Amino acid sequence: MCEKQAFTQVAALVNRGVKIVERLFYAVAEKVVDLPQRYAQVRQLGIDKVAHRKGKESYMGVLTDLERGIQLAVLPNRRRETLITPFELLGA
CB atoms within 10 A of CB 21: 22
pTM: 0.58
Same structural domain, 17 and 40: no
Same structural domain, 68 and 87: yes
Residue-wise pLDDT tens digits, 23-63:
888 777 766 667 777 778 889 989 888 876 666 667 888 88
Residue-wise pLDDT tens digits, 2-28:
777 888 888 898 998 888 888 888 777
- CA–CA separation, 28 vs 65, rounded Å? 21
Same structural domain, 41 and 83: yes
- 3-state SS, residue 43: coil
Same structural domain, 41 and 76: yes
- Which residues, 6+ apart, have CB-to-CB distance to 74 below 8 Å? 50, 60, 61, 62, 63
Same structural domain, 48 and 84: yes
pLDDT of residue 66: 93
Number of domains forming the structure of the chain: 2
Same structural domain, 44 and 26: no
- Which residues, 6+ apart, have CB-to-CB distance to 70 below 8 Å? 64
CB atoms within 10 A of CB 2: 16
Same structural domain, 43 and 25: no
Same structural domain, 47 and 75: yes
Domain that holds residue 8: 1-32
CB atoms within 10 A of CB 72: 20
